[in-house]
A = this chain, B = another copy of it.
Amino acid sequence: MRKSNQTTVKDVALKAKVSPSTVSRVISNNPKISEETRVRVLKIMDEMGYYPNAIARSLASRKTGTVGVILPSRSEDLLLNPFFPEALRGILKGAAAASYDVLLSSSTESKSELEIVKTFIRSSKVDGIILMSSKVNDETQEYLNSIDFPFSLIGSPYDNKDKVNHVDNDNYMAAYEITTYLSMIGRKRIALIAGEDSQMVTMKRIEGYKKALMESNLAFDERLLFTGKFDEETGYTYGVAILNLEPMPDAIIITDDLIAFGATKVFKGAGISIPKDMAIASFNNSILSRYSDIPLTSVEINSFDLGYYSVDLLVKAINDGVKGRKLIIPYDIVKRQSTEGE
Protein backbone atom coordinates (compact mmCIF):
# COMPACT_ATOMS: atom_id res chain seq x y z
CA MET A 1 0.00 0.00 0.00
CA ARG A 2 2.83 2.38 -0.58
CA LYS A 3 1.49 5.68 -1.79
CA SER A 4 1.64 5.97 -5.54
CA ASN A 5 2.91 9.06 -7.25
CA GLN A 6 0.42 8.74 -10.07
CA THR A 7 -2.11 11.48 -10.66
CA THR A 8 -5.58 10.03 -10.11
CA VAL A 9 -9.19 11.01 -10.67
CA LYS A 10 -9.21 12.16 -7.09
CA ASP A 11 -6.41 14.64 -7.65
CA VAL A 12 -8.10 15.97 -10.74
CA ALA A 13 -11.44 16.18 -8.95
CA LEU A 14 -9.92 18.13 -6.10
CA LYS A 15 -8.31 20.67 -8.36
CA ALA A 16 -11.37 20.98 -10.59
CA LYS A 17 -13.70 21.25 -7.59
CA VAL A 18 -15.91 18.45 -8.80
CA SER A 19 -16.45 14.87 -7.63
CA PRO A 20 -14.46 11.92 -8.90
CA SER A 21 -17.67 10.71 -10.51
CA THR A 22 -17.69 13.76 -12.71
CA VAL A 23 -14.08 13.31 -13.68
CA SER A 24 -14.82 9.71 -14.55
CA ARG A 25 -17.71 10.81 -16.73
CA VAL A 26 -15.51 13.25 -18.54
CA ILE A 27 -13.01 10.47 -19.20
CA SER A 28 -15.61 8.21 -20.68
CA ASN A 29 -17.18 11.03 -22.67
CA ASN A 30 -20.50 10.76 -20.92
CA PRO A 31 -22.88 13.13 -22.74
CA LYS A 32 -24.67 14.16 -19.56
CA ILE A 33 -21.75 16.31 -18.48
CA SER A 34 -22.17 20.00 -19.22
CA GLU A 35 -19.91 21.41 -21.82
CA GLU A 36 -18.52 23.91 -19.36
CA THR A 37 -17.54 21.29 -16.79
CA ARG A 38 -16.18 19.01 -19.46
CA VAL A 39 -13.87 21.65 -20.84
CA ARG A 40 -12.67 22.73 -17.42
CA VAL A 41 -11.94 19.19 -16.27
CA LEU A 42 -10.24 18.32 -19.54
CA LYS A 43 -8.02 21.36 -19.19
CA ILE A 44 -7.00 20.42 -15.68
CA MET A 45 -6.36 16.82 -16.69
CA ASP A 46 -4.06 18.12 -19.35
CA GLU A 47 -2.29 20.51 -16.99
CA MET A 48 -1.73 17.78 -14.44
CA GLY A 49 -0.57 15.32 -17.06
CA TYR A 50 -3.36 13.01 -16.01
CA TYR A 51 -3.95 9.78 -17.89
CA PRO A 52 -6.55 7.23 -16.81
CA ASN A 53 -5.25 3.95 -15.43
CA ALA A 54 -6.51 1.27 -17.80
CA ILE A 55 -6.20 -1.50 -15.23
CA ALA A 56 -8.40 0.31 -12.74
CA ARG A 57 -10.92 1.09 -15.46
CA SER A 58 -10.98 -2.55 -16.43
CA LEU A 59 -11.58 -3.74 -12.91
CA ALA A 60 -14.40 -1.33 -12.29
CA SER A 61 -16.07 -1.56 -15.66
CA ARG A 62 -15.46 -5.22 -16.36
CA LYS A 63 -14.16 -4.43 -19.79
CA THR A 64 -10.54 -4.79 -20.74
CA GLY A 65 -10.50 -3.18 -24.15
CA THR A 66 -8.26 -6.03 -25.20
CA VAL A 67 -8.67 -8.89 -27.61
CA GLY A 68 -6.65 -12.09 -27.47
CA VAL A 69 -4.93 -13.59 -30.48
CA ILE A 70 -3.11 -16.92 -30.62
CA LEU A 71 -0.42 -17.64 -33.18
CA PRO A 72 0.92 -21.06 -34.08
CA SER A 73 4.42 -21.59 -32.78
CA ARG A 74 5.95 -23.63 -35.58
CA SER A 75 8.33 -21.50 -37.53
CA GLU A 76 7.09 -23.03 -40.77
CA ASP A 77 3.50 -22.16 -40.07
CA LEU A 78 4.42 -18.60 -39.33
CA LEU A 79 6.88 -18.02 -42.13
CA LEU A 80 6.03 -20.27 -44.99
CA ASN A 81 3.36 -18.10 -46.48
CA PRO A 82 2.46 -14.53 -45.75
CA PHE A 83 -0.92 -15.34 -44.26
CA PHE A 84 -0.01 -15.00 -40.59
CA PRO A 85 2.05 -11.84 -40.73
CA GLU A 86 -0.43 -10.20 -43.07
CA ALA A 87 -3.51 -11.27 -41.14
CA LEU A 88 -1.82 -10.14 -37.94
CA ARG A 89 -1.15 -6.80 -39.54
CA GLY A 90 -4.84 -6.59 -40.41
CA ILE A 91 -5.82 -7.48 -36.87
CA LEU A 92 -3.50 -4.86 -35.43
CA LYS A 93 -4.88 -2.21 -37.75
CA GLY A 94 -8.45 -3.24 -37.12
CA ALA A 95 -7.93 -3.30 -33.38
CA ALA A 96 -6.33 0.13 -33.41
CA ALA A 97 -9.25 1.47 -35.42
CA ALA A 98 -11.68 0.09 -32.85
CA SER A 99 -9.52 1.28 -29.94
CA TYR A 100 -8.70 -2.20 -28.77
CA ASP A 101 -5.37 -3.59 -27.72
CA VAL A 102 -4.11 -6.99 -28.81
CA LEU A 103 -2.81 -9.54 -26.36
CA LEU A 104 -0.74 -12.07 -28.23
CA SER A 105 0.38 -15.55 -27.35
CA SER A 106 1.60 -18.55 -29.22
CA SER A 107 0.61 -22.13 -28.80
CA THR A 108 3.35 -24.69 -28.22
CA GLU A 109 3.68 -28.41 -27.86
CA SER A 110 3.21 -28.05 -24.13
CA LYS A 111 0.53 -25.38 -24.22
CA SER A 112 -2.34 -25.79 -26.60
CA GLU A 113 -4.41 -23.05 -28.12
CA LEU A 114 -7.29 -24.09 -25.90
CA GLU A 115 -5.24 -23.77 -22.74
CA ILE A 116 -4.09 -20.31 -23.69
CA VAL A 117 -7.62 -19.26 -24.47
CA LYS A 118 -8.79 -20.57 -21.11
CA THR A 119 -6.05 -18.70 -19.29
CA PHE A 120 -6.85 -15.46 -21.10
CA ILE A 121 -10.50 -15.75 -20.23
CA ARG A 122 -10.27 -17.00 -16.67
CA SER A 123 -7.80 -14.34 -15.71
CA SER A 124 -10.14 -11.76 -17.24
CA LYS A 125 -7.47 -10.33 -19.50
CA VAL A 126 -9.51 -10.10 -22.69
CA ASP A 127 -13.02 -9.22 -23.84
CA GLY A 128 -12.88 -11.50 -26.84
CA ILE A 129 -10.76 -13.89 -28.85
CA ILE A 130 -9.72 -14.10 -32.48
CA LEU A 131 -9.00 -17.57 -33.80
CA MET A 132 -6.68 -17.51 -36.78
CA SER A 133 -7.46 -20.93 -38.13
CA SER A 134 -10.17 -23.51 -37.97
CA LYS A 135 -9.65 -27.20 -37.46
CA VAL A 136 -11.96 -30.11 -37.95
CA ASN A 137 -13.52 -30.84 -34.55
CA ASP A 138 -11.91 -27.71 -33.22
CA GLU A 139 -11.92 -27.95 -29.43
CA THR A 140 -11.26 -24.26 -28.91
CA GLN A 141 -14.34 -23.30 -30.87
CA GLU A 142 -16.34 -25.85 -28.95
CA TYR A 143 -15.16 -24.44 -25.63
CA LEU A 144 -15.82 -20.84 -26.59
CA ASN A 145 -19.28 -21.77 -27.77
CA SER A 146 -20.01 -23.70 -24.62
CA ILE A 147 -19.23 -20.80 -22.31
CA ASP A 148 -20.69 -18.30 -24.74
CA PHE A 149 -17.59 -16.12 -24.85
CA PRO A 150 -17.28 -13.59 -27.68
CA PHE A 151 -14.96 -14.70 -30.45
CA SER A 152 -14.49 -14.50 -34.16
CA LEU A 153 -12.87 -16.93 -36.48
CA ILE A 154 -10.75 -16.58 -39.57
CA GLY A 155 -11.88 -19.57 -41.61
CA SER A 156 -14.90 -21.85 -41.74
CA PRO A 157 -16.41 -23.04 -38.49
CA TYR A 158 -16.36 -26.79 -38.28
CA ASP A 159 -19.73 -26.74 -36.58
CA ASN A 160 -22.36 -24.31 -35.26
CA LYS A 161 -22.06 -22.33 -38.45
CA ASP A 162 -25.07 -20.25 -37.52
CA LYS A 163 -23.58 -19.23 -34.18
CA VAL A 164 -19.95 -18.57 -35.01
CA ASN A 165 -18.83 -15.18 -36.27
CA HIS A 166 -16.37 -15.77 -39.02
CA VAL A 167 -14.59 -14.19 -41.93
CA ASP A 168 -13.37 -16.36 -44.71
CA ASN A 169 -12.64 -16.69 -48.39
CA ASP A 170 -14.85 -18.96 -50.37
CA ASN A 171 -12.20 -21.64 -50.54
CA TYR A 172 -14.56 -24.15 -52.05
CA MET A 173 -15.18 -21.84 -54.99
CA ALA A 174 -11.54 -20.82 -55.28
CA ALA A 175 -10.45 -24.42 -55.66
CA TYR A 176 -13.38 -25.14 -57.92
CA GLU A 177 -12.58 -22.21 -60.14
CA ILE A 178 -8.89 -22.88 -60.45
CA THR A 179 -9.44 -26.56 -61.16
CA THR A 180 -11.99 -25.72 -63.80
CA TYR A 181 -9.62 -23.21 -65.31
CA LEU A 182 -6.89 -25.84 -65.61
CA SER A 183 -9.36 -28.20 -67.21
CA MET A 184 -10.43 -25.49 -69.63
CA ILE A 185 -6.86 -25.03 -70.84
CA GLY A 186 -6.82 -28.70 -71.66
CA ARG A 187 -5.35 -30.41 -68.61
CA LYS A 188 -6.55 -33.92 -67.96
CA ARG A 189 -4.68 -35.10 -64.89
CA ILE A 190 -4.77 -32.40 -62.27
CA ALA A 191 -3.05 -33.07 -58.95
CA LEU A 192 -3.70 -31.24 -55.68
CA ILE A 193 -1.22 -30.68 -52.88
CA ALA A 194 -3.57 -29.44 -50.26
CA GLY A 195 -2.04 -28.95 -46.81
CA GLU A 196 -3.05 -30.49 -43.50
CA ASP A 197 -6.26 -32.43 -43.65
CA SER A 198 -7.10 -31.44 -40.11
CA GLN A 199 -7.70 -27.90 -41.33
CA MET A 200 -11.14 -26.82 -42.50
CA VAL A 201 -9.58 -24.81 -45.29
CA THR A 202 -8.01 -27.98 -46.68
CA MET A 203 -11.36 -29.78 -46.59
CA LYS A 204 -13.07 -26.96 -48.45
CA ARG A 205 -10.46 -26.84 -51.13
CA ILE A 206 -10.54 -30.58 -51.65
CA GLU A 207 -14.32 -30.44 -52.01
CA GLY A 208 -14.14 -27.69 -54.60
CA TYR A 209 -11.44 -29.55 -56.47
CA LYS A 210 -13.44 -32.77 -56.59
CA LYS A 211 -16.58 -31.00 -57.66
CA ALA A 212 -14.76 -29.28 -60.50
CA LEU A 213 -13.17 -32.53 -61.64
CA MET A 214 -16.58 -34.14 -61.78
CA GLU A 215 -18.14 -31.33 -63.74
CA SER A 216 -15.22 -31.43 -66.14
CA ASN A 217 -15.67 -35.17 -66.55
CA LEU A 218 -12.28 -35.87 -65.07
CA ALA A 219 -11.99 -38.81 -62.73
CA PHE A 220 -10.82 -38.16 -59.21
CA ASP A 221 -7.64 -40.12 -58.62
CA GLU A 222 -6.64 -40.32 -55.01
CA ARG A 223 -3.01 -40.82 -55.92
CA LEU A 224 -3.10 -37.25 -57.18
CA LEU A 225 -4.26 -35.85 -53.85
CA PHE A 226 -1.58 -35.00 -51.33
CA THR A 227 -2.17 -33.80 -47.79
CA GLY A 228 0.15 -33.25 -44.87
CA LYS A 229 2.15 -30.60 -43.11
CA PHE A 230 4.11 -28.08 -45.07
CA ASP A 231 7.70 -27.41 -44.31
CA GLU A 232 10.87 -26.57 -46.11
CA GLU A 233 11.31 -30.08 -47.50
CA THR A 234 7.75 -30.52 -48.66
CA GLY A 235 8.14 -28.82 -52.00
CA TYR A 236 10.97 -31.13 -52.97
CA THR A 237 9.44 -34.25 -51.52
CA TYR A 238 6.14 -33.85 -53.30
CA GLY A 239 7.85 -32.70 -56.46
CA VAL A 240 9.85 -35.88 -56.55
CA ALA A 241 6.82 -37.99 -55.67
CA ILE A 242 4.91 -36.49 -58.56
CA LEU A 243 7.79 -37.04 -60.95
CA ASN A 244 7.53 -40.73 -60.19
CA LEU A 245 3.82 -41.01 -60.87
CA GLU A 246 2.77 -42.88 -64.00
CA PRO A 247 1.23 -41.35 -65.90
CA MET A 248 2.43 -38.03 -64.59
CA PRO A 249 -0.11 -35.31 -63.99
CA ASP A 250 -0.14 -32.43 -66.46
CA ALA A 251 -1.18 -29.87 -63.87
CA ILE A 252 -0.80 -29.31 -60.14
CA ILE A 253 -2.57 -27.05 -57.73
CA ILE A 254 -0.52 -26.35 -54.65
CA THR A 255 -2.02 -24.45 -51.75
CA ASP A 256 1.17 -22.62 -50.94
CA ASP A 257 3.50 -20.53 -53.10
CA LEU A 258 6.70 -21.62 -51.47
CA ILE A 259 5.89 -25.29 -51.85
CA ALA A 260 4.97 -24.58 -55.46
CA PHE A 261 8.25 -22.79 -55.90
CA GLY A 262 10.15 -25.77 -54.53
CA ALA A 263 8.26 -28.23 -56.69
CA THR A 264 8.83 -26.07 -59.75
CA LYS A 265 12.54 -26.30 -59.23
CA VAL A 266 12.36 -30.08 -59.10
CA PHE A 267 10.42 -30.22 -62.37
CA LYS A 268 12.72 -27.85 -64.15
CA GLY A 269 15.70 -29.83 -62.95
CA ALA A 270 14.10 -32.95 -64.41
CA GLY A 271 13.71 -31.27 -67.78
CA ILE A 272 9.97 -30.88 -67.57
CA SER A 273 8.69 -27.80 -69.30
CA ILE A 274 6.40 -25.48 -67.39
CA PRO A 275 3.66 -24.81 -68.29
CA LYS A 276 3.81 -26.97 -71.41
CA ASP A 277 4.22 -30.37 -69.74
CA MET A 278 3.10 -29.28 -66.34
CA ALA A 279 0.89 -26.36 -65.41
CA ILE A 280 1.25 -25.08 -61.86
CA ALA A 281 -1.17 -22.98 -59.86
CA SER A 282 -0.82 -22.04 -56.24
CA PHE A 283 -2.28 -20.02 -53.39
CA ASN A 284 -1.38 -16.85 -51.46
CA ASN A 285 0.06 -14.77 -54.26
CA SER A 286 3.19 -14.06 -52.29
CA ILE A 287 6.08 -12.02 -53.58
CA LEU A 288 7.62 -15.32 -54.52
CA SER A 289 4.97 -16.13 -57.09
CA ARG A 290 5.79 -12.89 -58.85
CA TYR A 291 9.56 -13.13 -58.56
CA SER A 292 9.87 -16.72 -59.59
CA ASP A 293 11.74 -17.49 -62.81
CA ILE A 294 8.50 -18.78 -64.19
CA PRO A 295 5.95 -16.51 -62.54
CA LEU A 296 3.28 -18.55 -60.81
CA THR A 297 -0.45 -18.35 -61.21
CA SER A 298 -1.70 -17.88 -57.68
CA VAL A 299 -4.83 -17.16 -55.68
CA GLU A 300 -4.69 -13.90 -53.77
CA ILE A 301 -6.64 -14.49 -50.56
CA ASN A 302 -6.33 -10.97 -49.13
CA SER A 303 -5.02 -11.98 -45.73
CA PHE A 304 -4.90 -8.42 -44.45
CA ASP A 305 -8.65 -8.03 -44.92
CA LEU A 306 -9.29 -11.37 -43.32
CA GLY A 307 -7.52 -10.09 -40.21
CA TYR A 308 -8.99 -6.62 -40.31
CA TYR A 309 -12.59 -7.75 -40.53
CA SER A 310 -12.20 -10.45 -37.94
CA VAL A 311 -11.74 -7.61 -35.44
CA ASP A 312 -14.81 -5.88 -36.78
CA LEU A 313 -16.90 -8.95 -36.21
CA LEU A 314 -15.44 -9.53 -32.78
CA VAL A 315 -16.11 -6.00 -31.62
CA LYS A 316 -19.75 -6.37 -32.65
CA ALA A 317 -19.90 -9.65 -30.81
CA ILE A 318 -18.52 -8.00 -27.68
CA ASN A 319 -20.69 -4.90 -27.76
CA ASP A 320 -23.93 -6.09 -29.28
CA GLY A 321 -23.77 -9.82 -28.68
CA VAL A 322 -23.83 -10.41 -32.41
CA LYS A 323 -23.54 -14.07 -33.34
CA GLY A 324 -23.22 -16.15 -36.46
CA ARG A 325 -22.28 -13.24 -38.64
CA LYS A 326 -20.39 -14.31 -41.72
CA LEU A 327 -18.17 -12.21 -43.95
CA ILE A 328 -16.73 -13.43 -47.22
CA ILE A 329 -13.55 -11.79 -48.41
CA PRO A 330 -13.16 -12.06 -52.18
CA TYR A 331 -10.20 -13.92 -53.61
CA ASP A 332 -8.58 -13.21 -56.95
CA ILE A 333 -6.96 -15.69 -59.26
CA VAL A 334 -3.88 -14.03 -60.69
CA LYS A 335 -2.97 -15.81 -63.90
CA ARG A 336 0.68 -15.97 -64.83
CA GLN A 337 3.11 -17.88 -66.93
CA SER A 338 3.01 -21.14 -64.96
CA THR A 339 -0.44 -21.83 -66.43
CA GLU A 340 0.08 -20.05 -69.74
CA GLY A 341 -1.67 -17.09 -68.16
CA GLU A 342 -1.47 -13.35 -68.88
Task: Say whether A287 contacts B232, CB under 8 Å.
Answer: yes
A19 to chain B, nearest CB (A): 17
Given contacts A71-B92, A96-B105, is CB(A59)–CB(B56) below 8 Å? yes
Number of interface residues of A (CB under 8 A): 52
Task: Say whether A293 contacts B291, CB under 8 Å.
Answer: no
Given contacts A54-B124, A71-B92, A111-B96, is CB(A287)–CB(B79) below 8 Å? yes
CB neighbours (8 Å) of A71 from chain B are: 89, 92
A106 to chain B, nearest CB (A): 4
Task: Say whether B105 contacts A101, CB under 8 Å.
Answer: yes
Task: Say whether A51 contacts B82, CB under 8 Å.
Answer: no
CB neighbours (8 Å) of A80 from chain B are: 287
Stretch at the interface among A192-200, A211-219, A257-265, A275-283: A257-265
Interface readout for A103-120 with B: 1 if CB under 8 Å, 0 if not?
Answer: 111101001000000000
Q: Which of B55, B84, B85 contacts A64 (CB 8 A)?
A: B55
Task: Say whether A258 contacts B287, CB under 8 Å.
Answer: yes
Per assembly, the copies of the chain total: 2
Is residue A328 contacting chain B, with contact meaning CB distance below 8 A? no
Task: Say whether A86 contacts B96, CB under 8 Å.
Answer: no
Q: When chains A and B are docked, how far (Å) is the Cα of A51 from the Cα of B117?
A: 14
Is residue A123 contacting chain B, with contact meaning CB distance below 8 A? yes
A151 to chain B, nearest CB (A): 18
Given contacts A59-B55, A287-B79, A291-B261, is CB(A106)–CB(B123) below 8 Å? no
A residues 138-181 with Cβ under 8 Å of B?
none
Is residue A321 contacting chain B, with contact meaning CB distance below 8 A? no
Q: When chains A and B are docked, how far (Å) is the Cα of A53 from the Cα of B111?
A: 20
Binding site for B on A (CB under 8 A): 4, 6, 51-56, 58-59, 62, 64, 66, 69, 71, 73, 75, 78-80, 82, 84-86, 89, 92-93, 96, 101-106, 108, 111, 122-125, 232, 235, 258, 261-262, 265, 287-288, 290-291, 293, 304
Q: Can you show 11 pairs from A to B with CB atoms below 8 A apart? A: A51-B123, A54-B124, A55-B64, A71-B89, A73-B89, A79-B82, A96-B106, A96-B108, A102-B103, A103-B103, A288-B288
Q: A6-B124, A71-B89, A75-B89 are in contact. List 9 more A-B contacts (CB 8 A).
A: A51-B123, A78-B89, A79-B86, A79-B287, A85-B85, A102-B103, A102-B104, A102-B105, A103-B103
A-B complex: 5 closest residue pairs judged by Cβ atoms: A54-B123, A51-B122, A92-B106, A104-B104, A55-B58
